[in-house]
Amino acid sequence: MALKITEECIACGACEPECPNEAIAAGDPIYLIDPDKCTECLGYYDDQQCQAVCPVACCPPDPDHPESKDDLLKKFHALHPGEEPKNVDTWKAPEA
Ligand code: SF4
Ligand code: SF4
C-alpha cells in the first residue's frame, strides 16, 4: 500500500530527500507521493522514511492503493532492475 500525504502537511520538505524511490515531490500547496513509486520503503529500510522524518505525522497508508508485500517487491524490482532488496525479512508494514 503506497503512503499518501494529507492536508496537514506543512510543506517543510524533510521527506523528499529521504525517499529511496524519489516518490515524493513538492506540490501546491502540499507535498505529494507518487503511488507508482512508493514501495513503503521495502527493499531499502525497515520502516517508512517519510513517516520517520515528518514533523506532523501526515503520511499514512493510502487505502486507495492496497498492495501485498509481494506486490511491493515486484515494484521494487521494476524500479531498481538488477538490484537486490536489502531488508525483506526485517521490514515492517506501516501503521495506519
Ligand atoms: S514510504 Fe518510503 S518509498 Fe514510500 S514515499 Fe515514503 S519514503 Fe518513499
Ligand atoms: S515531512 Fe511531512 S510536513 Fe514535511 S513536506 Fe513531508 S509530508 Fe509535508
> Taking all residues of the chain, what is their mean pLDDT, rounded to a whole number?
96
Go through the domains of the chain in sequence order and give each one's CATH number.
Answer: 16-79 (3.30.70.20)
Q: Which residues sit with their C-beta closer than 6 Å to ligand 1? A: 3, 18-21, 23-24, 33, 38-41, 48-50
User: What is this structure's pTM?
Assistant: 0.96
Q: Which residues of the chain fall below pLDDT 70?
A: none
Residue 1 has a pLDDT of 78
End-to-end, the C-alpha distance of the chain in Å comes to: 11
Q: Who contacts 7 (Cβ-Cβ below 8 Å, separation ≥6)?
A: 30, 58
Q: Identify the three-state secondary structure at position 43.
A: coil
Q: Whose CA is nearest to atom 7 of ligand 1?
A: 19
